[in-house]
Structure 1
Amino acid sequence: MSRLEKEAQSSCCSSQAEPELNETEDTNSCCSEKKPAEAAATSTCCSSETDEKETSVTSACCGNDDAEEAHTETTPSCCSTGENATPKNSQPEGPNTMEFKVNGMDCPSCAATIEKGLKKAKEIQSVRVNYGTGKMAIEADDVTVYDKIPDQVRKLGFEAEVLNKNKTMQTYKIEGMDCGSCAMTIEKHLSKNPNVKEIHVNFSTGKMQIDHTTNHKEIIKEVQRAGFDASVDSFSNRKETTTDKKNIGASTTTISGIFLALGFFGSFTSIAPELITALYAAAILIGGFKPARSAFYAIKSGSLDMNVLMASAAIGAALIGEWFEGATVVWLFALGNSLQNRSIERTRESIRSLINLAPSEATVKSGDQLIRKPVEEVSVNDVIIIKPGDKIPLDGEILSGTSSVNQAPITGESLPVDKQQGDTVYAGTVNESGSLEVKVTKLVEDTTIAKIIHLVEEAQEKKAPTQAFVDRFANVYTPIVFALALLVMVVPPLFGFGSWGEWVYKGLALLVVACPCALVISTPVAIVSAIGNAARNGVLIKGGTFLEKAGAIQAIAFDKTGTLTEGKPKVAEVIALQNNREELIGITRTIEEHSTHPIAQAIITYAVERNIPAKQGDAFKAIAGKGAQATINGKEYFAGNPKLFKEMEIPLREIEERIDALQRNGNTLVVIGTRTEILGVIAVADTIRDITVQSIQKLKQVGMEEMVMLTGDNEGTAKKIATETGVDRYFAELLPEDKVSAVKKLQDEGKRVAMVGDGINDAPALATADLGIAMGGAGTDTAMETADIVLMADNLEKLPHTVRLSRRALKIIKQNVWFSLITKLAALLLIFPGVLTLWMAVLSDTGAALIVILNSMRLLKQK
């Protein structure tokens, strides 16, 4: 299932506090976010195992926040997984508790299925599955039970992996890896060490995750034995240090090159041939020691990497008397590796540099004193002082002071944001003007910038479809060409076709060509570069798969409220048919006070500003997709869209013309009345974001085929907003499930569709779309954790850049793959006529790899 993480999108489906309402639960299929191939997002999975005594009104809470749906919810909570539901962010309790990440849950009833299935085991004391977070906590008497849990969960139709292991896994930075086969060599080598429990090496990030029972020095030595360098990597170690190993590697390459040059120029003089051979041999020994050592451990580990191929070629060349060729192979290989490593490190630094955005120390207020402390020693609720011009060291809430803060490092916003008491500030952003007193709300490892770094590195580890295909191809290609090289060395001379020396030489050249280095790194380096560029510009791309999808998107569907518009509507006009405006506003405020929707809040704010109090009411109830009702002084009152009153057969004749005029002017209408008469109308209007129009124009410039607006608003409002924003098409008067249908309709037209929403609402539509894009990630942990792509700022400013970057990344990946394949094919064809020499084969391999890396690095500089 490709959308597992995003299908946990709707945070409203995790357990929430019990609401205060007193009406029966009305479930409007809010949690039915399925894949397009599955059932439509109208299943009623939310209501499974819900306590009948619960009183929450849940209609459409996960699906829509548009204008006409203003009254489809009265509380932010919507569903529960039953009596065993756990609080969001539940953590393991006790020493015998293990936490797992569960993939494949479509709705809370899935969580209940897993709980029931696992509880049958006698050894398990308790099981707590949280659909909202996608996590499961299990407590058992026997710790060996935990090893069986993934298999048991798989039998139930889901996938589970241990999360607690991350607490014992240590991270090391690995230097010297040229491609994925190097990572495999390290993994295989260390996995044979009895002190190593688990190991994962990632070439893209240059990181090794390892769970071991020995010390750091021993692990570093083991990595060095495999031919690479390692150092402990820590978030707190903010300044990346260069090791002496790099200098040693550079010096051995230089010395090897000097001996090669002396031998080459000496061959044109009268120097004895034995001395020339000795110089070449010295070049091979000095430059080839590290590759030979790596090749030894690769063979020992059962891995066929580039070091094995190059070492075989160099030794073979020496054995047949081609000392110059052997020395040239070694030196070019070492030089190519050195250049590749430096280039790849630059792409990795695009993420590591984010660590240095936040200062390593903070000024903590303690009584009347100000104390400088390392950020690791600052606790939640400590008060820190940020002076003008200083970087903010930790996430927090402003207690006093006003300032403008440059949030570009986090959100990518081009302009500073004004901040005042009660606002949130983020680590790594810059306080530009006033002094601020901030209460710390997150530890250094939990800050937004820390999460960005973690999520981006995690994203780099996820293989894109192209990369997965290339890796599979390389796994087949290398052993086939290796076997072919051996046959070329042996078969022709056995049958009298040429001399042994001739065919062994061609076989050695074929060995070098067997190394698919350029092909293997063609995709991951481009992906790392693109994801790094996006992260520095306030966009989180959650993996190569989504990067590729973003580049192939043909249509974008936008939620209207809060995405294209500010999401902060205001009352534009009040029409009281019985000439009692205050009475009308008071009744409406009473009905709307139980809703958190922007339309309801606009009416409440309007009433508060005019000191119009709410009345005493009860029996509050949401009417799905149409409005809400309440009983005041024993009489039922309704507030909703005109459709509600038409269905109730209450005539709108006397205000029909006014309603049409207001809707044509882009107003959203809340009609107020009883079961027998209309009392009045309140018109509410939302404002379009300034950046929206610019962003849509830029999306058109980059060649986006169609932009669509999805809204619950009436036809008139939708048409006006569509005209003002410049979208090509709109779908109006949509219920939550209708948004899913709209996205499917676009897909049925043959388009690959992206859906842009706020990351919490519109979950079914986001899940149905080919790509889900959430806005405002800097303030929403849920969006950061679950969406495919997250725009950290609460606007569309960076969306055109994201599309442009993704398309360019796809283009560069294709260039890299084709260039690598053509280079290899040309080399293979030139071997047999004798045109391609051994050193030319090495040059073609390392040169192609370097060109691929440099081509990918262009993505780092895209603005």
Structure 2
Amino acid sequence: MSQMENEKQTACCSSNKQSSIIPVSTPDSSVDGGTKESSSMLEYKVDGMDCPSCAATIEKALKKKEGVQSVQVHYATGKMTVGAEYDSVYDDIPKHVRKLGFDTEPLEKDKHKETYKVEGMDCGSCAKTIEKHISSVPDVQDVQVNFSTGKMQIHHSTSPENIMQEVQKAGFDASLDNGSKDAEKENTQKKPLSTTTLSGIFLMFGFAGSFTALPAFLITALYAAAIAAGGYKPAKSAFYAVKTGSLDMNVLMASAAIGATLIGEWFEGAMVVWLFALGNTLQNRSMERTRTSIRNLMALAPDEAVVLSGGQQVRKAVEEVGVGDVLVVKPGQKIPLDGEVVTGSSSINQAPITGESLPVDKREGHTVYAGTINESGSLEIKVTKLVQDTTIAGIIHLVEEAQEKKAPTEAFIDRFAAVYTPIVFALAVSVMIFPPLLGPGAWGGWLYKGLALLVVACPCALVISTPVAIVSAIGNAAKSGVLIKGGTFLEKAGVIESIAFDKTGTLTEGKPKVAEVLALHGSEEELITAARTIEEHSTHPIAQAVTAYAAKRGIPAKQGSHFQSVAGKGAKASIDHVEYFAGSPAWFQEMGVSLEENAGQHIQTMQEEGSTLVVVGTRSHVLGIIAVRDTIRDMTVQSIQALKKAGISETAMLTGDNRGTAKRIAEKTGVDRSFDELLPADKVSAVHSLQREGKRVAMVGDGINDAPALASADLGIAMGGAGTDTAMETADIVLMADNLEQLPRTIRLSRKALSIIKQNIWFSLLTKAAALVLIFPGFLTLWMAVLSDTGAALLVILNSMRLLKS
């Protein structure tokens, strides 16, 4: 792979990681007037760069800004380091970068950074209106509004009340998002505004009155009341949109409604306003269901915990429980916080966290997670993480971050909409002015067609076609124990053709187990007894595998003495005054102890199957042979078959085993091909080899040892994320369970998401094209244009919501 491709892969892996600010010290100096220069450089995360030239563009633009001393933008890591003459310059950097078409924020955790929930946004253009308006507030350093999640991230030095007032000025409602369940309950209890209903009542009376003897002025007054009731909020939002230079849906609809009244089409104007308000209400309710799909994860963990205190069981709010406290969790109850079992044993349903279909047995020393369900025995659990640091809290945080990141398709559509809307707006104005001036047709008819074009100019359905589908899919995956770290990786997963698996710990258990026992002299029990007596004093993984095998079968050890480990060979001990050995076949050959003739064939067969052999015997004869090897996971074969059914054309295994062993494991797991005798660094070369064959490759590993290969692949997938924070930070997709059970489902979900996104885009474009064609012959009325726009947006949302239940 070329250096540029390597950089691109690294960027994909690193641009979505959270890092701490790294101050780079520079010599202190002063300028005239005694104002001290900035003594450090600030590091920023930059999103949206798709090639190194983007980095060069940002560098050149920022170097021209007053007060900026140095700029270094690293495309490979998605980071930017800025050195400024004064500290105040840093506050304006995000605004300058956003003008260039990229998103950036300081990696420093700013104490003034807050998150707000914003209600009333109908599409991405509303988010841009809020962004532009809030950016004009002097005390705001940076603001980002995400329509998909309904949230606003803001750096400011004023009060939250002022921020909420400014959002209200723009025609929307905002509330501080503190992540609490109480806040969620309050939001669900809020009643929607009744302006839509009021507008509909006035419209209905006006329309009914047109069939009676009601005076014309009274009918007009009813239509005017319908326009005023339903159009107040859109008109307010339109005012601030125009003020900040935005051309959003509210501007277009308000213009259409006002234009309709000016040419005497009061019914059309009232119908436009009411349909627009009704469509927004339905869209908001549908979007809220999508946005709350991930918030429902918060309800998994209980609000209270039973804590052992002074021998008594005391009920406390989870926020009051500290690390080290001991909880009591009875059968059938949910575990309130992450912790370690100190007393008891039970089966735990971990499906809410990992997506595993079967309960997992837990006993003393095992880790348990908040939100999982204790199915059988009573447990005492020592808390290891506070409520804000639990695994479920980490999942929610990572998923919400992922939902806010734009996918390539979404970014392209936003750029398309930014060009499409002004062009159609200009066309609408031209239709209103030039045809009447040039002669054909009256002013009224062309003004009406121009107003219909204004409505068609709004690309609402197109703009939301991608983000709603991505939010739905990522939320659905999270509920099944899969973290997809952004729309980019969701799209990549949908087009993956080949998947490479690390063998150890991914396809196999990663822990050696006794696979076969061959007794040559005496019984199998005598062989295991001698082996356990020697090996239980060793910490070697193979020795522990033998000891565990004996313990599971209730075979005890004998009284031994003179225990000794021999590096590279094995271990020995005296049993009943006889020296016994447990080690490699080569060790016994060195001692001149011959194996039986028929044992040689067994040894060769077991070694070809990838077993490590433990020969047990004395200096005069061999008791038998114990074969220890890494066993294939129960879910591996089933998962590989399911991946092929999901459309994966090729699977590969990467292993350090010899060719014969690798071939046999590949055959047993159902993997199509294997790369054997690999050193850790060779895994990257194997991934590149698959890519050179023209395949889009995903790499599946544990997220730690396989980090280089995960970064080199088109898509990095780590498994076992519930056990390690590192795995959750390393890869593009994280399987929280320590098996491949959810991987086929993730591939299917990603492909369905891509299919739905394509459906949404084509439906939106065809609806707009049909509307444009029908306007000029006069078939499309103004209210029909509104209905086609809001209806298309609603259908796109509903289509995307199918991903919530896939």
Q: TM-score range by the shorter chain?
A: 0.7 to 0.9
**Which residue is equivalent to 2:689?**
745
CA contact (8 A) 1:190 1:223 kept: yes
1:707 is paired with a residue of what secondary structure? strand
**Which residue is equivalent to 1:490?**
433
Deviations 1:21-75 (A, max 9, x none): xxxxxxxxxxxxxxxxxxxxxxxxxxxxxxxxxxxxxxxxxxxxxxxxxxxxxxx
CA contact (8 A) 1:410 1:792 kept: yes
Q: Among residues 261, 268, 272, which one is paired with 1:318 in the alignment? A: 261
Q: How far apart, CA to CA, are the structure 1 residues paired with 2:211 and 2:780?
A: 23
Q: Among residues 384, 403, 406, which one is paired with 1:463 in the alignment? A: 406
**Which residue is equivalent to 2:713?**
769
1:277 maps to 2:220 = yes
Q: How far apart, CA to CA, are the structure 2 residues paired with 1:252 and 1:148?
A: 39
1:200 Cα deviation (Å)? 1.7
Change over 3 Å in CA distance of 1:613–1:422 after alignment to 2: farther
1:589 Cα deviation (Å)? 8.3
**Which residue is equivalent to 2:800?**
856
Q: How far apart, CA to CA, are the structure 1 residues paired with 2:143 and 2:89?
A: 22
Change over 3 Å in CA distance of 1:476–1:402 after alignment to 2: same
Q: How far apart, CA to CA, are the structure 2 residues paired with 1:199 and 1:347?
A: 23
CA contact (8 A) 1:668 1:713 kept: no
AA paired with 1:777?
G
CA contact (8 A) 1:585 1:612 kept: no
1:696 maps to 2:640 = yes
Q: Among residues 284, 291, 294, which one is paired with 2:237 in the alignment? A: 294
1:438 maps to 2:385 = no
Change over 3 Å in CA distance of 1:134–1:327 after alignment to 2: closer
Q: How far apart, CA to CA, are the structure 1 residues paired with 2:240 and 2:409?
A: 29
**Which residue is equivalent to 1:409?**
352
Write the mapping of 1:110-125 to structure 2, written as runs, cut at 5 A.
none
AA paired with 1:667?
S
CA contact (8 A) 1:592 1:604 kept: no
1:226 maps to 2:167 = no
Q: How far apart, CA to CA, are the structure 1 residues paired with 2:79 and 2:777?
A: 61
AA paired with 1:351?
I
**Which residue is equivalent to 1:216?**
160
Change over 3 Å in CA distance of 1:738–1:602 after alignment to 2: farther
Unaligned runs of 5+ in 2: 1-6, 26-38, 48-76, 96-102, 573-582, 590-594, 617-623
Deviations 1:107-150 (A, max 9, x none): xxxxxxxxxxxxxxxxxxxxxxxxxx999999999966977999
Q: How far apart, CA to CA, are the structure 2 residues paired with 1:454 and 1:416?
A: 26
Deviations 1:465-501 (A, max 9, x none): 1111111100111111111111111111111121111
1:235 is paired with a residue of what secondary structure? coil
CA contact (8 A) 1:363 1:370 kept: yes
Change over 3 Å in CA distance of 1:98–1:860 after alignment to 2: farther
Q: How far apart, CA to CA, are the structure 1 residues paired with 2:246 and 2:439?
A: 34
**Which residue is equivalent to 2:578?**
none
Q: How far apart, CA to CA, are the structure 2 residues paired with 1:162 and 1:258?
A: 50
1:641 Cα deviation (Å)? 12
**Which residue is equivalent to 1:256?**
199
Q: Among residues 717, 720, 734, which one is paired with 2:664 in the alignment? A: 720
1:178 Cα deviation (Å)? 1.3
1:833 maps to 2:793 = no
Q: Among residues 435, 439, 457, which one is paired with 1:514 in the alignment? A: 457
Q: Among residues 135, 141, 147, which one is paired with 1:191 in the alignment? A: 135
1:380 Cα deviation (Å)? 1.3
**Which residue is equivalent to 1:425?**
368
Q: Among residues 418, 431, 443, which one is paired with 1:500 in the alignment? A: 443
Q: How far apart, CA to CA, are the structure 1 residues paired with 2:91 and 2:706?
A: 37
Change over 3 Å in CA distance of 1:144–1:660 after alignment to 2: farther
Change over 3 Å in CA distance of 1:182–1:281 after alignment to 2: same
Q: How far apart, CA to CA, are the structure 2 residues paired with 1:670 and 1:5?
A: 46
**Which residue is equivalent to 2:502?**
559
2:181 is paired with a residue of what secondary structure? coil
1:748 Cα deviation (Å)? 1.7
1:537 maps to 2:480 = yes
Write the mapping of 1:518-597 to structure 2, written as runs, cut at 5 A.
518-572=461-515
1:847 Cα deviation (Å)? 0.4
CA contact (8 A) 2:501 2:699 kept: yes
**Which residue is equivalent to 2:69?**
none
Q: How far apart, CA to CA, are the structure 2 residues paired with 1:849 and 1:693?
A: 43
Q: How far apart, CA to CA, are the structure 1 residues paired with 2:768 and 2:602?
A: 73
Change over 3 Å in CA distance of 1:854–1:149 after alignment to 2: closer
Q: Among residues 280, 296, 304, which one is paired with 1:337 in the alignment? A: 280
Larger mean Cα displacement after TM superposition, 840-849 or 412-421: 412-421
Q: How far apart, CA to CA, are the structure 2 residues paired with 1:748 and 1:641?
A: 42
Change over 3 Å in CA distance of 1:573–1:392 after alignment to 2: closer
Change over 3 Å in CA distance of 1:697–1:188 after alignment to 2: same
CA contact (8 A) 2:10 2:712 kept: no
1:703 Cα deviation (Å)? 2.2
1:100 Cα deviation (Å)? 5.3
CA contact (8 A) 2:462 2:764 kept: yes
Q: How far apart, CA to CA, are the structure 2 residues paired with 1:149 and 1:516?
A: 30
Q: How far apart, CA to CA, are the structure 2 residues paired with 1:139 and 1:377?
A: 43
Q: How far apart, CA to CA, are the structure 2 residues paired with 1:591 and 1:362?
A: 41
1:538 Cα deviation (Å)? 0.7
Deviations 1:155-190 (A, max 9, x none): xxxx99533335431221111111111111111111
1:804 maps to 2:748 = yes
**Which residue is equivalent to 1:114?**
none
**Which residue is equivalent to 1:182?**
126
Change over 3 Å in CA distance of 1:561–1:196 after alignment to 2: same
Unaligned runs of 5+ in 1: 15-80, 85-95, 105-132, 152-158, 621-627, 633-638, 646-651, 673-679
1:7 Cα deviation (Å)? 5.1
1:787 maps to 2:731 = yes
Q: Among residues 333, 337, 345, which one is paired with 1:390 in the alignment? A: 333
CA contact (8 A) 1:756 1:774 kept: yes
AA paired with 2:415?
R
AA paired with 2:611?
N
2:801 is paired with a residue of what secondary structure? helix
Length-normalised TM-score, structure 2: 0.80
1:350 maps to 2:289 = no
Q: How far apart, CA to CA, are the structure 2 residues paired with 1:857 and 1:751?
A: 31
Q: How far apart, CA to CA, are the structure 2 residues paired with 1:466 and 1:512?
A: 24
Q: What percentage of residue pairs aligned between the two structures are identical?
A: 69
Change over 3 Å in CA distance of 1:837–1:670 after alignment to 2: farther
Q: How far apart, CA to CA, are the structure 2 residues paired with 1:698 and 1:755?
A: 17
Q: How far apart, CA to CA, are the structure 2 residues paired with 1:395 and 1:547?
A: 29
Q: How far apart, CA to CA, are the structure 1 residues paired with 2:235 and 2:612?
A: 74
1:777 is paired with a residue of what secondary structure? coil
1:719 Cα deviation (Å)? 2.4
2:184 is paired with a residue of what secondary structure? coil
AA paired with 1:492?
P
2:315 is paired with a residue of what secondary structure? strand
Q: How far apart, CA to CA, are the structure 1 residues paired with 2:789 and 2:636?
A: 47
Change over 3 Å in CA distance of 1:468–1:564 after alignment to 2: same
AA paired with 2:717?
I
What is the RMSD computed on CA atoms of the aligned residues?
Answer: 4.2
CA contact (8 A) 1:591 1:629 kept: no
Change over 3 Å in CA distance of 1:101–1:541 after alignment to 2: same
1:434 Cα deviation (Å)? 1.7
AA paired with 1:437?
E
Q: How far apart, CA to CA, are the structure 2 residues paired with 1:417 and 1:548?
A: 32
Larger mean Cα displacement after TM superposition, 748-757 or 164-173: 164-173
Q: How far apart, CA to CA, are the structure 2 residues paired with 1:359 and 1:165?
A: 29
AA paired with 1:697?
Q
Q: How far apart, CA to CA, are the structure 2 residues paired with 1:692 and 1:494?
A: 74
Deviations 1:535-586 (A, max 9, x none): 0011111110111111111111111221112222124579999x9x99x999
